[in-house]
Structure 1
Amino acid sequence: MYQRVRRRKVAEINVVPYIDVMLVLLIIFMVTAPLITQGVKVDLPQADAEPLDEDSKTPLVASVDAQGRYYLTVGADDKEPMSLEDVATMVAAHLKLDPDTPVVVNGDGAVSYDAVVQLMVILQKQAGVPSVGLMTDSVEE
Structure 2
Amino acid sequence: MSFGDSPFGQAPRPLAEINMIPLIDVMLVLLIVFMITAPLLTHRVGLELPQADSTPRPPVTDAIRLTIQADGALFWNAAPLTEAELAERMTAAATGVTVPELHLQADRRVPYGQVAAVIALAARSGLTHIGFVTEPRPLP
Instruction: State the TM-score, normalized to the length of structure 2.
Output: 0.53
- Greater RCO structure (CA 8 Å; 6+ sep): 1
1:93 and 2:92 equivalent? Answer: yes
Instruction: State the TM-score, normalized to the length of structure 1.
Output: 0.53
Q: Aligned-pair RMSD on alpha carbons?
A: 2.4
Cα distance in 1 for partners of 2:135, 2:70 equals 16
Identity, in percent, stands at 13
Cα distance in 2 for partners of 1:124, 1:100 equals 12
Q: In the TM superposition, what whole-angstrom CA distance separates every residue of 1:97-118 from its partner, at most 9, and x where no partner exists?
A: 3424211111111111111111
**Following superposition of structure 1 onto structure 2, how do residues 43-54 of structure 1 map, counting pairs within 5 Å?**
53-54=57-58
Q: In the TM superposition, what whole-angstrom CA distance separates every residue of 1:81-136 from its partner, at most 9, and x where no partner exists?
A: 311x32121122123234242111111111111111111111111x2111311110
**Following superposition of structure 1 onto structure 2, how do residues 102-113 of structure 1 map, counting pairs within 5 Å?**
102-113=101-112
Report the Cα offset of residue 52 of structure 1. 6.7
Number of positions where the alignment pairs a residue of Structure 1 with one of Structure 2: 87
Residue identity opposite 1:62 in structure 2: L
Are the structure 2 counterparts of residues 123 and 52 from structure 1 closer, same or farther at C-alpha, using a change threshold of 3 Å?
farther
Are the structure 2 counterparts of residues 123 and 51 from structure 1 closer, same or farther at C-alpha, using a change threshold of 3 Å?
farther
The aligned residue for residue 67 of structure 2 is: 63
The aligned residue for residue 134 of structure 2 is: 136
Cα distance in 2 for partners of 1:97, 1:72 equals 17
Work out whether residues 72 and 110 of structure 2, in 8 Å CA contact, stay in contact via their aligned partners in 1.
yes
Cα distance in 2 for partners of 1:133, 1:51 equals 18
Question: What runs of 5+ residues in structure 1 fail to find an aligned partner?
Answer: 1-49
